Amino acid sequence: MTCMVGGQPSRGGGGHPMTHGLHQFMAVTGPWAYLVVGLMACAETAALIGLVVPGELTLLLAGFLAFTGQVSLPLTMVAAGVGAVAGDVISYRIGRRLGPRVRDSRLGRRVSAERWDRTEDYLRRRGGPAILVGRWIGLLRALVPMLAGMGRLPHGRFLAYAVPGGLVWGAGTVGLGYAAGSSYELVERIAGRIGLLVAGGLVVLAAAVLGVRRLTRPRTPVVEYAGRPVKRAGRPVKR
């Protein structure tokens, strides 16, 4: 069967799965398209749903639809960014409320204990900047916000990283689909590489900022710590 995609004939049927998804998504137009984009961006991190829902793929497809003129690029970017931030906040609140029980849930068991532990250790060592970096790496994107809540990272500090991270990721992913135009199969192939490059750049930037802060931070006299009681907490997140 031949379908028209962006004014060009495209083969349906047993073709590439991304093409099949595009044909289905193109049936959604008008305000509903922006709602779908926002919900899928939200599901990418909310309550571990992103482990089974291809939210990033939907945003790439939405970018392609913007390229063909079927949806507005600015509105699609806004919907994706707002949805991404909402997903992070939902995941954070669930982690803060349920704590370690999340790991024993049906979706939580889809992730190995080793991956949970490694992500938790990474977040505890890096603190807030890990939220920015994790947004661009698939598995970390699903786990970091929830672990931030489980680790009792202050809500304000969490938002300071989650809001810009979610907005840039949502708009950027849609923009990638738009920039690639009709080459949406190429988008799927390079999206992961771009995410890793962005994450690597953020790691370098975060390390530089932390290094400057440590060099300029006034040293606390050792005497000041004398007599302070030692408090033990259950693996708090670095703040």
* Residues 142, 155: Cα–Cα separation, whole Å: 18
* Residues 41, 81: Cα–Cα separation, whole Å: 8
Looking at residue 187, what is its pLDDT? 54
Give the pLDDT confidence of 159-203 residue by residue, as tens digits.
999 999 999 999 999 998 898 875 655 555 555 454 444 444 544
Looking at residue 79, what is its pLDDT? 96
Looking at residue 85, what is its pLDDT? 96
Helix (H) or strand (E) holding 234, with range, is none
Between 222 and 165, the more confident residue is: 165
Helix (H) or strand (E) holding 57, with range, is helix 55-67
Whose tokens are 């005497």? That residue is 223
Looking at residue 81, what is its pLDDT? 96
Q: Looking at the predicted structure, is the pLDDT value of residue 94 above 80?
A: yes
Looking at residue 209, what is its pLDDT? 46
* Structure tokens that stand for 15 in this block: 């073709």
Looking at residue 168, what is its pLDDT? 94
* Residues 26, 239: Cα–Cα separation, whole Å: 43
* Residues 55, 86: Cα–Cα separation, whole Å: 13
> Could you tell me the CA-to-CA distances from 170 to 51, 102, 214 in Å, in that order?
17, 25, 32
* pTM value surpassing 0.75: no
**Mean of the per-residue pLDDT values of the chain:** 72
Residues 6+ apart with CB under 8 A from 235: 120, 124, 151
